[in-house]
Amino acid sequence: MTIQILGTGCPKCKKLEENARTAINDLKLDCTIEKITDMNEILEYGIMMTPGLAFDKKVRSTGEVLTPDQIKVLINGEGV
């Protein structure tokens, strides 16, 4: 799985990335994390608020910093 962090590098975006890394480490998953910082590319995902979180280019969250536990739930396919 590839996880995309969508944002310009603000503190909230950095915290979301940190939380995503914690979640995948806790779950012992082999995932790649991509940081998408270009606004044109972020807009291609159809989001209007950052930070955004996507799994394999499918947007799962926008405009909020999810906790590691919330991210784990999304990874496991249970929704937030």
Options 5, 13, 47, 71, the catalytic residue: 13
CA distance 39 to 24: 26
13 is catalytic: yes
Selecting among 1, 2, 9, 10, the annotated active-site residue is 10
Residue 9, token pair as written in the block: 């590098």
Catalytic residue list: 10, 13
